[in-house]
Structure 1
């Protein structure tokens, strides 16, 4: 919401993939970084495919800024057609932090939908509930279309349209009559 006074979260769309008594964890899904995906793969000779094929498989793949915590660790949101050692999720949208998913994707054998984010957003016990109670965040049910097929620049507005309004009309201040 506009009342949050943090540049990091201004206009962000966050997919919450874990929320329990210990806190909440999510990934910002609408802030691409400037890091090329291929740089994160390391030595391409270990993948077992030609460099040309790998570059073709990952050519249009963005790396996202997932949040301010652990920005050196990668998290992959993906469709449920594949699972890996560290996969968690709700059955439709999964999260994996195993490098296996990156290698599969580079080989052209990864999940149908794939999004790599570096870092995450996190909340301590009760923190997110408190912020929700203060109307600091809006919530909307996640859709695969918004997360994976919608153009990045449209994701925030598309998610808000699921709530039935345009976020450009939200104000951070209230008036008095």
Structure 2
């Protein structure tokens, strides 16, 4: 399947074909997509640690961590480089202008893996952000093939997804696509032997 435009920024919504996989009911925010491949982060799979505790584990001192970080979930971003911490945030771009690890993937949204940027966000915690471990990646043409096989549905960027409850995100995505969840799930089961 040839896609003539980039899917980033945007979202991928897992179809029932991916049930039982690491992408089961996943909603992925796409931050990069071109002929060389694609990169995104699962937004709706929290892991069993909060952001503040995770930062303490990597030797960030407690006085550098805002109290609200201890109520902030960390999410499984995908199966690639699961040891790497990334943060999607909406901090003003001038704050991190000198960081080589800062990527602007939407006019108001950034991706960072830079330790200084992450520490700044942890101390201030005044902007919207989502910490993630790992990412989802595709080689040249791989994502297009998976979309063509019916594994993924594509949605335009809508920042409401970043704030949507993880328990409701997949259902919300289907509603935005105009798809009835029960019918969608039944179609997926019918295609499995």
TM-score by length of 2: 0.78
Residue in structure 1 matched with residue 140 of structure 2 by the alignment: 125
Residue in structure 1 matched with residue 63 of structure 2 by the alignment: 50
Higher strand share: 2
Distance in 2 (CA, whole Å) between partners of 1:78 and 1:167 is 30
Distance in 1 (CA, whole Å) between partners of 2:92 and 2:131 is 16
Q: Could you say if the C-alpha distance between residues 105 and 97 of structure 1 is closer, same or farther in structure 2, counting changes exceeding 3 Å?
A: same
Q: Structure 2 residue aligned with 1:20, among 7, 27, 34?
A: 34
Q: Secondary structure at the match of 1:14?
A: strand
Alignment deviations for residues 99-153 of structure 1 (CA, whole Å, 9 cap, x no partner) = 123211221255x210011001111110001111122110111211111x22121
Number of aligned positions between the proteins: 168
- Alpha-carbon shift at residue 6 of structure 1 (Å): 4.6
CA contact (8 A) 1:29 1:64 kept: yes
Q: Structure 2 residue aligned with 1:96, among 95, 107, 112?
A: 112
CA contact (8 A) 1:28 1:121 kept: yes
Alignment deviations for residues 36-67 of structure 1 (CA, whole Å, 9 cap, x no partner) = 3123323343xxx737xx35131221100011
Distance in 2 (CA, whole Å) between partners of 1:144 and 1:23 is 23
Q: Does residue 115 in structure 1 map to residue 126 in structure 2?
A: no
Residue in structure 2 matched with residue 64 of structure 1 by the alignment: 75
TM-score by length of 1: 0.84
